[in-house]
Structure 1
């Protein structure tokens, strides 16, 4: 973890990018690779319900447990929420569309999956453009 934090900060510095941009793109993608590999393996083995359980569990752990532990170790204040508005908006959009897709036919089709993927790509562009 220390190497990732160090490398990410050096990369941001070298390319004159904010740590937020590096965090929401490269670091987030890198830390999601085990999740992606797990989801691919689970779908190939026919464990579809495990996929949703893992995704929901991961979101709750990152949003509640990780943030809670960080706050216990070193309390922090968020004095300006504006840098997080794009991420919060896209998180809400992705969750709403995911719920809509799953509730509509109880599945996510290839087109819907591409749409969700597109939301992520658009999110990265929005983060880069509005910074």
Structure 2
């Protein structure tokens, strides 16, 4: 038992250190590629941290249970827009941008993530729906890649520094994903030992576990003052989940919705969180610690309602 707690603490330290390494490395990589922090967070880090969801979803499609991917993706998006960004803001401080143009640019793309909910309103995400989602993913990510960043960078990164930071980023990302996976495993062991109900273990681990890389990356990004990097990762992860992952899975195997009531609960909370987060981001005071606390409370309510619905 004591060994489990020691391993858990060790994995947590690895998670934090790897998060710091990836954050610092990606900042230099974005400068060399002239991507800027927003595009780097949106494209590179967001896709990288979506690997757990992608692996789970493709596996579920191949195993003929594609509906699992829909729950995983929507659940992860709810966690990202509540627990992840809320916790990161509580730890690192508020997220606020002075420019109204930046505020608009950072909020409206989140609503693209609602498209799977609209497409699945007939009870299924078909292969045609999947193709639509993939086209939207490619189109929007291409636009982000081509555009200049909101914040101009004056530093110059040499090719040698770029290669070094690319290696550090790769190592940090591997450590981040591996430590997150095993941290979930040991959390399950500890949770079982202290008697947490099985349904709570499942909901908490699936949603929180696959979002650990985002939580670590966004918290450390905010601690280093990289607000756009953190929001770029949040936006990119949300859009990747809703378009790339669900699009790929529905093309492999169309996703039917076996229990529409559970789908409605997740969808309603997702819509509420996107609306609230966008409203906060566009306000003068931005996302404060008090508002971040409200996002976390919404996540707790989501857990309770989902748990009651399963009983």
TM-score in terms of structure 1 length: 0.79
What is residue 63 of structure 1 aligned with on the other side?
A: 242
State the distance in 1 between where 2:291 and 2:250 align: 36
Using structure 2 for the length normalisation, give the TM-score: 0.35
Look up the match of 1:112: 291
Structure 1 residue 86 and structure 2 residue 265: aligned?
yes
* SS of structure 2 residue aligned to 1:107: coil
Larger CA Rg, structure 1 vs 2: 2
Give distance in 2, aligned partners of 1:80 and 1:117. 26
Preserved contact between residue 262 and residue 306 of structure 2 (Cα < 8 Å): no
Gaps of 5+ in 1: none
Whole-Å separation in 2 of the counterparts to 1:116 and 1:59: 16
The CA RMSD measured in Å over matched residues stands at 2.5
1:99-124 deviation digits (Å, cap 9, x = unpaired): 11111125211100000111101100
Which residue of structure 2 lines up, in the alignment, with residue 124 of structure 1? 303
1:41 equivalent in alignment to 2:203: no
Higher relative contact order (CA 8 A, sep 6+): 2
Q: CA deviation at 1:82?
A: 2.0
Distance in structure 1 (CA, Å) of the matches to 2:279 and 2:273 = 10
For each residue in 1:3-56, what CA deviation from the matched residue of structure 2 results, as whole angstroms up to 9, or x when unmatched?
x8xx89xx9xxx6649xx83x432111010000000011111111011111111
Equivalent in the alignment of 1:99:
278
* 2:30 aligned residue: none
Q: Secondary structure at the match of 1:121?
A: helix
99-108 or 41-50: which moved more? 99-108
- Offset at 1:79? 5.0
User: Is the Cα contact below 8 Å between 2:221 and 2:230 reproduced in 1?
Assistant: yes
- Measured in 2, the distance between the counterparts of 1:129 and 1:80 equals 14
Gapped runs of 5+ residues in structure 2? 1-54, 57-180
- In 2, distance between residues paired with 1:54 and 1:104? 21
Q: Is the 2:257–2:263 Cα contact (8 Å) retained in structure 1?
A: no
- Output the CA distance in 1 between the equivalents of 2:256 and 2:289: 41
Number of residue pairs aligned between Structure 1 and Structure 2: 120
2:211 maps to 32
Q: Paired residue for 2:233?
A: 54
Q: Quote how far apart the aligned CAs of 1:80 are.
A: 4.3
